[in-house]
Amino acid sequence: MNKTTTNDWWRGAVIYQIYPRSYQDSNGDGVGDLAGITERLAHIAALGADAIWISPFFTSPMKDFGYDVSDYCDVDPLFGTLADFDALMLRAEELGLKVMIDLVLSHTSDQHPWFVESRADRSNDKADWYVWADPKPDGTPPNNWLSVFGGSSWAWDGRREQYYLHNFLTSQPDLNFHCDAVQEALLDVARFWLRRGVHGFRLDTINFYIADKYLRDNPSLPKELRNNSIAPSVNPYNHQLHLFDKNQPENLDFLRKFRAELNPYGAAAVGEVGDAQRGLEIMAEYTSGGDKVQMCYPFELLQPTQLTARAVVDTFARLEKAAPDFWPCWAYSNHDVIRHVTRWNLSDAAARVYATLLMCLRGSVCLYEGEELGLPEADIAFEDLQDPYGVQFWPEFKGRDGCRTPMVWSHGTNGGFSTAKPWLPVPAAHLPMAVSEQLRDPGSMLHHYRSAVALRHAHPALVGGTSRAMRAEGDLLRFERQDGGETVFCAFNLGDRTVQVALPEGRWSLLGADLGAAATISGNTVALAPWQACLAQRQT
């Protein structure tokens, strides 16, 4: 399948996430920008990625670093101009890269003109564009819903003498998707960017769009279930089963409307499903049937606990049960979680085998900037913190700044990111891992990622094929990928002891020698050293 000329380009694609504040500063103000991204796109093309996903660059007061939008259809001056975006699109086209942008539709900034008008009184044209509710008779919030960032998700507004809903910061009021005019306005935002040439969207907090219209209380979550969460353990958000503040069935109708806007452009969407209890099932529901979003990513591979063979098998079993035609977009790291090399305390060998595994799983893939360098989490001092989430829960939770430090391009000043003091410090430990240093070393992590992506692209079975015979045998994970006449056998030793792998019946040729995969077959058996893969193609 030629993904560059079909509407299915997203199926099995490798998508590279760019956090624009931290990618490349082009104008010497210490903050990355769109022109800086354009300057560095060749790095992503050389990695072999199919597309980029750019985190928000829209006009914003930056209380949550762009995830609080005050104008959906313009570029914040911090990042440049619409002309800079158009130049980025042209360069991406030259390099064969699709461009996806991050749309934050569940909420806006409290400085967005829509909210300014809505909060003025109860009778204006946008009075019902946000989720407003009267207090209880004693003046307290209308229900027990909690914010992901801590505390009640309701904020009092004296002008209307009502509470408004904010699932995140108080400066991020939630839009009311039960209002048809809101849905139409947001679809018009998508149309604006589609007409400008984008190839798709990453949809932030896709399952938060619609709240229960009756504002019913969430039930409590048993203590033994609180470890698996999208929030840090110190956050009371984990004490509830979030039945009513998100995950509402009416969301499916909006997603169908959104998909109808994408189809004429051959564009795609990947949704972020933030739910600890039902994330996989919601993902399957949102991506099945061919009439909603094409892809979603849940938090199963973003969890604090290291990914095991059994966890992979159980994850795929749950998805198959929920919807056999599901399509995930897997990621180990992003701008919201501790980098997985640190989160899972991975050795170099372990990081490499997990990278190879990611490229072999059924679904699409997101790589987060710096992941291809094996960057660990940065330790940010309290006085350097920028993330309000970290300030709120310090020191038990240090926020998200540790994964957002600037990309390191060279061993020089500020890692080649900026000539000025960066908005977050560049860790000294990252400098020897810079792109320039790794390009000179054929055995580097960067070259491993390039080889893993190339392997995926070389085999249709790994890009869009089916997955079968998946099972865990202790630390050994094994499965087969099939597409047409091609079958690729994949086995991964995710442990510290050598294991023996018996290949399925047939004649096999080993793949991935440049990835450190097993290089010899004895009879029909392969010995896998600790943290080693076996990849083989069936011979016809």
500, two tokens: 């023996």
User: Per the structure block, which two tokens stand in for 136?
Assistant: 């209880």
**Alpha-carbon gap, residue 261 to 25, rounded angstroms:** 34
Cβ atoms within 10 A of the Cβ of 324, count? 10
Give the per-residue pLDDT at 390.
86
Q: Which of 127, 162, 122, 160 is nearest to 142 (CA)?
A: 162
Interatomic CA distance for residues 79 and 77, integer angstroms: 5
Eight-state DSSP code of residue 216: P
Q: Is the peptide bond before 395 cis (omega within 30 degrees of 0)?
A: yes
C-beta of residue 446 within 8 angstroms of C-beta of residue 326: no
Structural domains for the chain? 14-108+178-375+428-455 (3.20.20.80), 463-539 (2.60.40.1180)
Contact 110, 54 (CB under 8 A): no
| Nearest by Cα to 174 from 223, 130, 121, 144 | 130
Distance CA 404, CA 384 (A): 12
Distant-in-sequence, close-in-space partners of 430: CB < 8 Å, separation ≥ 6: 370, 373, 375, 376, 378, 405, 408, 415
Q: How many residues does the chain have?
A: 540
Is residue 272 annotated as part of the catalytic site, yes or no? yes
Catalytic residue among 110, 204, 212, 480: 204
DSSP-derived letter for residue 196 is T
pLDDT tens by residue, the chain, 540 residues: 233 346 899 999 999 999 999 999 999 999 999 999 999 999 999 999 999 999 999 999 999 999 999 999 999 999 999 999 999 999 999 999 999 999 999 999 999 999 999 999 999 999 999 999 999 999 999 999 999 999 999 999 999 999 999 999 999 999 999 999 999 999 999 999 999 999 999 999 999 999 999 999 999 999 888 876 677 778 899 999 999 999 999 999 999 999 999 999 999 999 999 998 899 999 999 999 999 999 999 888 999 999 999 999 999 999 999 999 999 999 999 999 999 999 999 999 999 999 999 999 999 999 999 999 999 999 999 999 998 888 888 888 889 999 999 999 999 999 999 999 999 999 999 999 999 999 999 999 999 999 999 999 999 999 999 999 999 999 999 999 999 999 999 999 999 999 999 999 999 999 999 999 999 988 889 999 999 999 999 998
Instruction: Report d(CA 401, CA 389) in Å as an integer.
Output: 9
Q: Angle 52-470-476 (CA atoms, 0-180°, nearest 5)? A: 95
Q: Are 261 and 252 in contact (CB under 8 A)?
A: no
pLDDT at 388: 87
Residue 88 phi/psi, 5-degree rounding, is: -60, -45
C-alpha closest to that of 232 among 112, 125, 150:
150
What pLDDT shows up at residue 5?
40
Bridge-based pairing of strands 507-511 and 533-539 is: antiparallel
For residues 428 and 378, the answer to whether their CB atoms sit within 8 Å is no
What is residue 392's predicted lDDT score, i.e. its pLDDT?
Answer: 87
Q: Say what the pTM is.
A: 0.96
Tell me how far CA of residue 421 lies from CA of 30, 379, 384, 390, in angstroms. 5, 17, 12, 21
Q: Among 17, 16, 15, which Cα is nearest to 335's? A: 17
Q: What is the pLDDT of residue 228?
A: 65
Give yes or no: 110 in active site: no
Instruction: Say how far apart CA 279 and CA 288 lie, in whole Å.
Output: 14
User: The tokens 């300057």 sit on which residue?
Assistant: 39
Q: Are strands 466-473 and 364-368 parallel, antiparallel or unpaired?
A: unpaired
Q: For the chain, report the end-to-end CA distance as a whole number of angstroms.
A: 21
Strands (E), 273-429: 295-297, 329-330, 364-368
Set 50, 102, 272, 275: catalytic member: 272
What is the predicted pLDDT for the residue at 395? 87
